[in-house]
Amino acid sequence: MENMHFKIITLDTEIKIIGLSYHKLGLPETIESLTEMWKLYGEKYRRRVPNAVEPPVDYGVNTCLSTKEDEYIAGCAVTEFGELPEDWASFTVPPGRYIKHSRHDIGDLFKYEQVVKVWAEENQIVIGSDCMIEIYPLGAFAEGDSGAYTLYPIQA
């Protein structure tokens, strides 16, 4: 688990996120589709979203992990929800306790998810099944230390 860091954090306020919706775009459920969606978001919408929080932070939200209605949103944090385009969705990250998993490369999130689950189990922490949030601060896709991290809700 070299270059990986785990920390328990508390979000005191909610985070409102809007972005492109995996399902509303009608993409097949593949890694290539996620790459395509992020590319579209980056080329067409990044840094142009109304009500975006400053400094800008991109979010990938995997929602409804405990149901067959799994959704992925590629977007950003906003101060308030406005009217959304047809192929967009919104999600509110609730206040609470989260496992913050930081690493020095963006890498394969699905591989890292398993590493987080093992770490949580070793530390007697139960991960909530409702979402997983990827956070990409400004410049996260640049060379070197990405600054990217993921949040996993801790079940109360």
pLDDT of 129 over the 60 cut = yes
pLDDT of 106 over the 60 cut = no
Say which residue the tokens 């909610």 belong to.
14
**Order of strands across the sheet that contains 96-103:** 4-11, 96-103, 149-153, 131-137, 57-63, 71-78, 15-21, 88-93
pLDDT tier at 113, thresholds 50, 70, 90: confident
pLDDT digits (tens, 9 = 90+) for 1-57: 445 689 999 999 999 999 999 889 998 878 888 889 999 999 999 888 999 999 889
Phi, psi at 51, each rounded to 5°: 70, 15
Alpha-carbon gap, residue 153 to 155, rounded angstroms: 6
In CATH, which of 3.60.10.10, 1.10.260.40, 3.20.80.10, 1.10.1740.10 is domain 4-153?
3.20.80.10
pLDDT, position 1:
46
pLDDT tier at 110, thresholds 50, 70, 90: low
- The tokens of 76 are what? 């950003």
pLDDT digits (tens, 9 = 90+) for 49-99: 999 999 889 999 988 655 566 788 999 999 999 899 999 999 999 999 999
- Name 62's bridge partners: 72, 132
Say which residue the tokens 């990827």 belong to.
134
